[in-house]
Every structure is written in C-alpha cells, then in structure tokens.
C-alpha cells in the first residue's frame, strides 16, 4: 500500500511540475509577444520615415526563423500558392524555363509536348513582350508571374530569334512537371532512370519507368539522384518500395510532438527486388534523395556511387496560419533503417558568429547495414564508391557564365534543320573551330579573377598622376589575359566539346537528348558500367556471400 501511495505521489508531483513549467512557458511567450508588439507599434508610429507594416513584419519574421535553421520559413499568401505548386509539381503555364541575362529573359528549356513546344517556342528565344507589354528589364519573378495563369487562357509572346521578331500565341495548359525527367537505355542491358523531383506521384513514375525498361530487355538499372534536393518524404518511401518488398522500415522520424514521431514502411510487393541496382548521388543530393540512397545502402540492395550527399536529416511540415499564410517548420529528425541520422549541421549548437556546428568525425557513431557493413551517422550518406569531383577548368566556367556555348548552340541550330541522333552526334573539330571563331567575334568572355583584379587596380590608378605613361602596359596585359583565355579554350577542347555537344543536341532532342549525349563521357555512368560488368565486385561491395 505504501509503495502504491508513493507512486501516486510521484505522479502527482510530476504533473504539478509539468503544470508549473507550462504556466512559465505560457507567461514567457505572452511577455515576449507583448514586447514584440510594442516595438512593432512604436516603429510604425514614431520612425522618422514611412514604413510598410507588411514588409516590416515579414523582415522580422524571416529574421526570427533564420535563427533556427534554413528550412523553417514563413510564406505570404502569394508565396504559399507558389510553395504548394512546388510540392504538387503542377501549375498553369507554358512548360518552359527561362533565365534573366542583363535586361533580357532568354528561354533555356522547353518541355517536349507541352504548350510552349506546341507553339514552337525555342530554346534561345529572347523575350521582348508579354501580351503587348514590354518585359525588358523585368525581374524573373515578374516574368514567371506573367507567364503562369489559368489553363486554356491565351498569352501572346513577342520574341527575338536570330535577329528576327516573332509573335507567338500560346494557350496555357495544366503543367505537371515530371519527377522522372528521362529514362532510357545506356546499352541493351542497362537502363537509366533520372529522378529530378519528389513531388506527388514520384514513386509511381519510377515504377513505370522500371517496368518500361524491363520490357525492353534490361537486366540492370541506374537510378540517378544527382542534384535532387528532395521533396515529399512518403514518395521517398514509395521509391524504395520499387526495389524493396513490403513491410520494411525505410525511415522513422523523432520530434517533440507525438505526431512528429512516425515510422514509414514499404506497403506493397517490390516491383523488382533482385535486379542489380546502382544509385548515383552528389553533394547536392539532399533530404528525400538521401532517404532513398541511404535505405538502399542500409538494406544492401544496391551500390551507391558518387560524392557524399548533402546531409539534410530534418523533416519539415507545412502549417496553415491566419490570412491564408503558411509556415514550413522543422518538426523532427529522420533516421534511416540502420538507425543513423545523416544530418550534418547542428542548428541547436551554433558558434558565436551564428554558424551551425559540424559534428566532428571522432564523435560520429557507427551503425551496420543489413549485411554487416559499417556506416557512419552525420555528414550525409557516404557512397560505396567515391567519384572524386574534378575541378572544372576556369575557362569552362567562364564560357558557361558568359552563355557563349548556349548562344553558339542556338546559332548552330538556326542554320541546320537536323543532326544525327543524340547517341550518334559528335562535335567535329571543324565545329569546334567555328565555336572558337564565334567566341572571338563576341569578345565577351566572363572576366577571370585575374582580370577582375586588374580592373580594381585600374580604378585605383586613375587617381594617380601620369597614368597615361603606363596605359600601354595595362593594354598589353589585357590583351595577354584575353589571348590566354583563347589558349585555354584550345587546351580544354575535349571537355568543352562534350558540353557543347550536349547543348546542341538539346536544341533538337530536348532534355532527353542531352542525357543521352552525356552518357559517352559521364564519369558516374562509366563507373556504373564498370561495376555492372564485374558481378563479383558488385557482390563484394554489398558484402553478399
């Protein structure tokens, strides 16, 4: 009896402590809200210049949430609609992508079969007007808002193509951005699936792609998650379910609230539980991508090839707020089948300058895969086979930033109605020489770091007397640096030709053609073929008997 009374007293005492803490928390919240409100009112009433209350509050909210982590965000009503579109992958529009260069917007991608494609909008088109209104100098956001709209509504574009103006009438349609942006054959035995998003239906698209490839006779498959920043968690589970049977724990989350702590298991029989599998990742593969590749690794279901992934082991949920605003808030950490969390940065432990801390290797715990292989927590998913990132030659980056390869491909496509298929097309030495001449005519290669430093020096020298006496030397240095860039183009002809060939093929065979062209030189793909061609090595990596 005494023991029972003791337990009851402890329980009552615990409840009282909880009640006191809740009361303290409530008081502290009320107090801080009152302080914040008084500051907000005082600034609006007394600040020397007029302030916009909505903008001021948005800055305050953003600053508050930024002190937590980069993934907890507040959305205004208009931003909430855009965020919902990103999660669903659906919007009313044209089916194209664009980029702002200086005062102009250029079309950089046209999705095959959608409204823009049907109306013959082309990659490289320069946008001048939308519905009779000039959009020169407008921001990317303004252009995007003007192009999007209700399906079946008309938008009129005035574009410039090869120096000529063209008027295009396009009827917007419901655009469903595909999660699987391409799937096809690398060779008769090996299939390839490129997954770029984790919006609704991603798992079904991967399943459909695999079944289609199997109908063509493949016996091995590559799942490419490079540059995939993630998305819906349950779609990651559905994708794992394509390769792993039902009833298996893929990921579980732990948070402060009961609804944030959940287990996520596969539900259906696997589409194919035995086909040899390679998963490609890089340091921009994050979140849902890491759940997929981490689960595949933990189950020893396939070989992960590439770079350490990004290291985002946090779960976000979208909460509706007042006045149709929303908030995306981090509610939990997630853990993959071995029990490890791959989160790299600790946002609860920041340095004096506000930077989140990285867990040192010495503190990382070891976990084991299904077959007993050691894997580490934190720092993303470490690949089974690392592809060392090659430093991009500076000249290649300068050409890309200058859009010279992009512009040459546009010019090339305007003069040739057709080219060999994406798998057969090769950039000839003659084409490369034509590109070099094109670059010389443009005389507009992005400045190198050395050239930027020279410009800074010229600004400083303007204030010095007798600047004219060294002007000839400065001109000589400028010519030397420009000629050096031309020499670098020749030196890196192979890599530039590969990228240029991809850019040209995209003009004829869309995004799909670019993928096919890249198979010839992509180090990740070539390493995958090497592993697939050595079944013993494949089995050894997975520690299979």
CATH number for the domain including 118?
Answer: 2.30.42.10
Tokens 């990004």 -> residue: 310
User: In the prediction, which pLDDT does 356 show?
Assistant: 85
User: In the prediction, which pLDDT does 156 show?
Assistant: 96
CA angle (136, 142, 146) in 5-degree steps = 95
Q: Contact at 8 Å (CB) between 505 and 517?
A: yes
Q: Where residue 205 sits, what CATH number does that domain have? A: 3.90.226.10
Residue 168, pLDDT > 80, answer yes
Last residue of a domain, one of 176, 192, 227: 176
Residue 8 lies in a domain: no
Residue 533 lies in a domain: no
DSSP 8-state assignment for residue 332 = E
In the chain, % of residues over pLDDT 90: 64
Residue 13 lies in a domain: no
Residue 544 lies in a domain: no
63 and 170 part of one domain:
no
What average pLDDT does the structure give for the chain?
89
Burial (Cβ within 10 Å: 0-12, 13-18, ≥19) of residue 196: buried
250 and 338 part of one domain:
yes
User: In the prediction, which pLDDT does 7 show?
Assistant: 55
243 and 226 part of one domain:
yes
Residue 539 lies in a domain: no
Radius of gyration for the alpha carbons in the chain, expressed in angstroms and rounded: 28
Longest dimension (CA), the chain: 104
172 and 60 part of one domain:
no
User: pLDDT class for 90, splitting at 50, 70, 90?
Assistant: low
Residue 106 lies in a domain: yes
Residues 6+ apart with CB under 8 A from 528: 186, 190, 222, 278, 280, 305
165 and 298 part of one domain:
no
Domain range for 488 is 394-528
Residue 239 lies in a domain: yes
Residue 11, pLDDT > 70, answer no
Q: Contact at 8 Å (CB) between 308 and 381?
A: yes
Strands (DSSP E) found in 256-403: 263-265, 277-281, 303-306, 314-320, 326-335, 345-350, 356-358, 366-368, 374-376, 385-386
205 and 97 part of one domain:
no
Last residue of a domain, one of 389, 423, 452: 389
Which of 27-41, 63-77, 93-107, 421-435 is least confident? Answer: 27-41
Dihedral class, residue 533 (left if φ above 0, else alpha if ψ from -120 to 50, else beta): alpha
User: In the prediction, which pLDDT does 87 show?
Assistant: 62
Which of 182-191, 258-267, 280-289 is least confident? Answer: 258-267
Residue 85, pLDDT > 70, answer no
Active-site residue, from 69, 298, 384, 522: 298
Active-site residue, from 96, 98, 253, 287: 287
Residue 34, pLDDT > 90, answer no
Q: Contact at 8 Å (CB) between 140 and 129?
A: no
Last residue of a domain, one of 389, 408, 433: 389
312 and 453 part of one domain:
no
Active-site residue, from 126, 312, 328, 527: 312
97 and 159 part of one domain:
yes
Give backbone dihedrals phi and psi of 333, rounded to 5 degrees, phi first: -105, 150
CA 525 to chain centre: 20
116 and 220 part of one domain:
no
User: pLDDT class for 147, splitting at 50, 70, 90?
Assistant: very high
**Interval 469-517: pLDDT, tens:** 777 888 888 888 888 999 999 999 999 999 999 999 999 999 999 999 9
Which residue, among 426, 382, 427, 210, has the nearest Cα to 282 in the 3D structure?
Answer: 382
* Residue 298 among the catalytic residues: yes
235 and 366 part of one domain:
yes
Q: What is the total count of domains within the chain?
A: 4
**Interval 58-73: pLDDT, tens:** 888 888 888 888 999 9
216 and 243 part of one domain:
yes
Residue 107 lies in a domain: yes
**Interval 303-345: pLDDT, tens:** 999 999 999 999 998 888 888 888 889 999 999 999 999 999 8
User: In the prediction, which pLDDT does 22 show?
Assistant: 53
Token pair in block for residue 259 = 């609804």
pTM over the 0.95 mark: no
403 and 518 part of one domain:
yes
457 vs 423, residue with greater confidence: 423
């Amino acid at each position: 009896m005494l023991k029972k009374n003791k337990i009851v007293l402890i329980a009552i005492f615990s409840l009282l402590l909880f009640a006191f803490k809740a009361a303290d928390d409530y008081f502290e919240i009320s107090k801080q809200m009152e302080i914040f409100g008084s500051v907000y009112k005082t600034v609006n009433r007394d600040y020397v210049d007029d302030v916009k209350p909505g903008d001021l509050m948005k800055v305050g909210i953003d600053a508050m949430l930024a002190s937590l982590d980069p993934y907890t965000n507040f959305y205004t009503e208009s931003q909430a609609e855009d965020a919902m579109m990103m999660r669903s992958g659906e919007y009313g529009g044209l089916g194209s992508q664009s980029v702002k260069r200086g005062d102009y917007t250029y079309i950089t991608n046209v999705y095959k079969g959608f409204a823009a494609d049907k109306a013959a909008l082309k990659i490289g088109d320069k946008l001048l007007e939308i519905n009779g209104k000039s959009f020169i100098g407008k921001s990317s956001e303004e252009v995007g808002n003007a192009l999007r709209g209700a399906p079946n509504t008309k938008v009129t574009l005035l574009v410039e193509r090869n120096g000529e103006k063209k008027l295009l009438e396009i009827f917007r349609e419901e655009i469903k951005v595909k999660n699987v942006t391409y799937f096809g054959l690398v060779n008769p035995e090996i299939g390839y699936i490129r997954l770029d998003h984790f919006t609704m239906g991603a798992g079904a698209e991967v399943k459909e792609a695999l079944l289609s490839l199997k109908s063509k006779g493949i016996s091995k498959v590559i799942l490419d998650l490079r540059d995939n920043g993630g998305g819906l968690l349950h779609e990651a589970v559905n994708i794992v379910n394509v390769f792993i049977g039902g009833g298996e724990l893929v990921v579980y989350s732990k948070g402060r609230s009961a609804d944030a702590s959940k287990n996520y298991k596969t539900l259906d029989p696997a589409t194919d539980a035995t086909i040899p599998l390679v998963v490609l990742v890089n340091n921009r593969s994050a979140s849902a991508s890491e759940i997929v590749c981490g689960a595949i690794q933990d189950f020893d279901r396939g070989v992960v090839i590439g770079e350490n992934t990004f290291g985002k082991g946090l779960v976000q949920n979208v909460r509706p707020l007042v006045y149709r605003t929303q908030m995306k808030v981090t509610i939990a950490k997630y853990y993959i089948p071995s029990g490890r969390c791959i989160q790299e940065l600790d946002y609860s432990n920041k340095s004096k300058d506000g930077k989140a801390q990285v867990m040192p290797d010495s503190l990382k715990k070891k976990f084991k895969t299904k077959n007993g292989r050691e894997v580490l927590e934190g720092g993303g998913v470490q690949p089974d086979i690392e592809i060392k990132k090659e430093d991009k030659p500076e000249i290649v980056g300068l050409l890309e930033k200058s859009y010279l390869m992009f512009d040459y491909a546009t010019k090339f496509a305007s003069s040739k109605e057709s080219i060999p298929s994406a798998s057969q097309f090769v950039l000839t030495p003659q084409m490369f020489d034509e590109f070099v001449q094109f670059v010389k005519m443009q005389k507009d290669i992005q400045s190198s770091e050395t050239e930027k430093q020279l410009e800074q020096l010229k600004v400083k020298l303007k204030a010095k007397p007798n600047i004219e006496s060294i002007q000839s030397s400065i001109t000589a240095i400028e010519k030397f640096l420009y000629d050096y860039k031309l020499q670098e183009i020749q030196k890196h002809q192979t890599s530039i030709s590969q990228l240029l060939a991809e850019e040209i093929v995209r003009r004829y065979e869309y995004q799909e053609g670019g993928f096919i062209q890249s198979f010839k030189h992509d180090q990740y793909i070539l390493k995958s073929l090497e592993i697939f061609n050595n079944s013993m090595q494949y089995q050894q990596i997975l520690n299979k008997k």
